[in-house]
């Protein structure tokens, strides 16, 4: 590469920098912090991350972007969020099955209309970006056209998403059902069009999938090892009871998916609030991950996630907003809610700021099998980051003025920072969101 090209692309972002390159649940790993940090980036990749003085000294030719006064964190990774549910956020007062029937499925049916679906797709990816989310495992639509619109909108915006056609052939409403044959054909056509590396096979949940439909999922996954798998599990007691009725041969909820070889390292299962003891052991042995969605668990009254039991069993988990069962797109808010609920859980635990940051970033990358590409600022990873710059006249800015301990700063950001504090968001160093004036 000629010298001038190197000069042109080499940049250093200067700000306070926080990340969690090591799992803070496994050892006493705290937040890795640089109060005056430098993030050197070239061609969309991290070259170096450390104290500004040493990062800059090694690269005297780099262009420096001075962002002091704010905080650079790895871009958030949302492991469970529903694209067709943006417009039903705020629907309080329901349990899961009533919420689906009365609020959610009627809205999801509206995505049959192509123009509406593509406007919702743009609205959805804009919301991800505006909240600092750079990667998401997104529950798509039951409609092929709407799911294609989502892939296109995310590609255009530059948000890294994994998604797919949602598959169901019973228990919902006729407009949302496909036959297993159509599900196979339409999934194949989307995989062909958008590539298998970003595609996830997604039966909505066991209740809405016949054995023939789960066999289609099995076939799709068997045919292509780069596909991911995502669905719901053990969210709500009535749902669990109904699942046992529909699959009388299954010893528990997980056994339904296991029968069709759907559980393994590429599986991300949402909720698992009411997990049985052998289910946890089997999930750990199979290397599957849980998308923990504490806001949704509270809104829908699903229950309190048994985090301690997941940790003891060695089951991986990361955070998901579960829009629209949850309370919005904010991953900081989701981390705070995880903290709050574990404080009052029957077997309470106190999450550290490092654990909250890890759950919102690197843990998601691990769940998706992309921790070698994103989730922290290790050398060679994608320059995916969120720049937080709390409004100067706000409460958070005042709180931060007093703090210099990195754990206290991260705790304050999780407690008080919302979308108004997101200044800029970059994926592979390309801006996907920029607040005017920064
Ligand atoms: N189970 C099946 N569908 C859904 C959904 O849309 N949201 C949640 N939270 N759980 C589900
Ligand atoms: Zn969900």
pLDDT tens digits along 141-189: 999 999 999 999 999 999 999 999 999 999 999 999 999 999 999 999 9
Query: By C-alpha distance, which of 85, 34, 75 is closest to 422?
Result: 75
Ligand 1 atom at shortest distance from the alpha carbon of 302: 9
Q: Is 162 helix (H, G, I), strand (E, B) or coil?
A: strand
What span, in angstroms and rounded, lies between the C-alpha atoms of 221 and 287? 16
Look at residue 30 in the predicted model and tell me its pLDDT: 86
Averaged pLDDT, 360-371 = 98
Between helix 353-360 and helix 331-343 the angle, nearest 10°, is 130
142 Cβ closer than 6 Å to some ligand 1 atom: no
325 Cβ closer than 6 Å to some ligand 1 atom: yes
**pLDDT above 50 (res 4):** no
Averaged pLDDT, 249-255 = 98
pLDDT in tens, 21-75: 999 999 888 899 999 999 999 999 999 999 999 999 999 999 999 999 999 999 9
Look at residue 9 in the predicted model and tell me its pLDDT: 86
108 Cβ closer than 6 Å to some ligand 1 atom: no
pLDDT in tens, 374-393: 999 999 999 999 999 999 99
Instruction: Give me ligand 1 centre to Cα 47, in Å.
Output: 40
What span, in angstroms and rounded, lies between the C-alpha atoms of 306 and 269? 15
48 Cβ closer than 6 Å to some ligand 1 atom: no
**pLDDT above 90 (res 277):** no
**b/e code 311-334 from CB counts within 10 Å (16+ = b):** eebebbbbbbbbbbbbbbbbbbbb
Query: By C-alpha distance, which of 340, 291, 284 is closest to 314?
Result: 284
The pLDDT-based confidence of 284 (bands split at 50, 70, 90) is: very high
Ligand 1 atom at shortest distance from the alpha carbon of 235: 10
Residue 251, Cβ neighbours under 10 Å: how many?
Answer: 13
Averaged pLDDT, 337-350 = 98
104 Cβ closer than 6 Å to some ligand 1 atom: yes
The pLDDT-based confidence of 6 (bands split at 50, 70, 90) is: very low
Write the residue with the smallest CA distance to atom 3 of ligand 1. 204
Averaged pLDDT, 233-252 = 98
Instruction: Give me ligand 2 centre to Cα 87, in Å.
Output: 15
Write the residue with the smallest CA distance to atom 11 of ligand 1. 232
Look at residue 172 in the predicted model and tell me its pLDDT: 98
**pLDDT above 50 (res 5):** no
323 token code pair? 């829009």
| Average pLDDT for the chain | 96
The ligand whose atoms approach the alpha carbon of 296 most closely is 1
- In the chain, the domains with their CATH numbers are 3-75+376-434 (2.30.40.10), 76-343 (3.20.20.140)
204 Cβ closer than 6 Å to some ligand 1 atom: yes
pLDDT in tens, 100-137: 999 999 999 999 999 999 999 999 999 999 999 999 99
Look at residue 8 in the predicted model and tell me its pLDDT: 54
205 Cβ closer than 6 Å to some ligand 1 atom: yes
pLDDT in tens, 392-429: 999 999 999 999 999 999 999 999 999 999 999 999 99
Instruction: Give me ligand 2 centre to Cα 94, in Å.
Output: 15
**pLDDT above 80 (res 1):** no
182 token code pair? 């159509």
Q: Assess contact for 124 and 153: CB atoms under 8 A.
A: yes
Look at residue 266 in the predicted model and tell me its pLDDT: 97
**pLDDT above 60 (res 346):** yes
Residue 64, Cβ neighbours under 10 Å: how many?
Answer: 15
Torsion-angle region of residue 322: left (phi > 0), alpha (psi -120 to 50) or beta?
A: left
């Amino acid at each position: 590469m000629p010298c001038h090209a190197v000069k042109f692309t080499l940049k250093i972002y200067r700000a306070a920098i926080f990340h969690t390159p090591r799992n803070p649940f496994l050892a006493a790993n705290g937040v890795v912090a640089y109060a005056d940090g430098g993030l050197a980036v070239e061609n969309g990749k991290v070259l170096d991350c450390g104290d500004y003085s040493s990062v800059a000294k090694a690269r005297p030719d780099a262009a420096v972007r001075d962002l002091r006064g704010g905080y650079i964190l790895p871009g958030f990774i949302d492991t469970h969020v529903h694209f067709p549910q943006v417009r039903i956020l705020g629907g309080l007062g329901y349990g899961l099955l009533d919420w689906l029937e009365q609020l959610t499925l009627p809205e999801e049916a509206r995505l049959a209309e192509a123009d509406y679906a593509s406007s919702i797709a743009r609205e959805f990816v804009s919301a991800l970006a505006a909240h600092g989310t750079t990667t998401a495992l997104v529950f798509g639509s039951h409609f092929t056209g709407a799911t294609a619109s989502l892939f296109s909108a995310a590609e255009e915006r530059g948000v890294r998403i994994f998604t797919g056609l949602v598959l169901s052939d019973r228990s919902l409403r006729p407009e949302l059902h496909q036959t297993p044959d159509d599900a196979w054909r339409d999934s194949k056509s989307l995989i062909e069009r958008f590539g298998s590396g970003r595609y996830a096979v997604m039966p909505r949940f066991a209740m809405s999938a016949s054995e023939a439909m789960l066999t289609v999922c099995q076939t799709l996954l068997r045919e292509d090892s780069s596909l991911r798998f995502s669905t719901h599990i053990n969210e709500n007691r009535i749902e669990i009871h109904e699942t046992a009725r529909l699959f009388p041969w299954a010893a528990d909820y997980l056994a339904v998916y296991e029968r069709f070889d759907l559980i393994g390292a590429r599986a991300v299962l949402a909720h698992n609030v009411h997990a049985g003891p052998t289910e946890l052991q089997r999930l750990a042995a199979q290397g599957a991950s849980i998308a923990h969605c504490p806001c949704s668990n509270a809104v829908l009254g699903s229950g309190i996630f048994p985090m301690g039991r997941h940790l003891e069993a060695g089951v991986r988990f990361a955070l998901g907003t579960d829009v629209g069962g949850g309370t919005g797109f904010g991953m900081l808010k989701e981390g705070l809610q995880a903290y709050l609920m574990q404080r009052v859980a029957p077997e309470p635990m106190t999450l550290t700021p490092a654990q909250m940051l890890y759950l919102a970033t690197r843990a998601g990358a691990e769940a998706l099998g992309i921790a070698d590409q994103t989730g922290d600022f290790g050398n060679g990873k994608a320059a995916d980051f969120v720049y937080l710059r709390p409004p100067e006249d706000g409460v958070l800015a005042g709180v931060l003025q007093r703090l210099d301990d990195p754990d206290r700063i991260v705790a304050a950001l999780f407690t008080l920072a919302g979308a108004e504090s997101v200044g800029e968001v970059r994926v592979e160093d390309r801006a996907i969101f920029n607040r005017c004036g920064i």
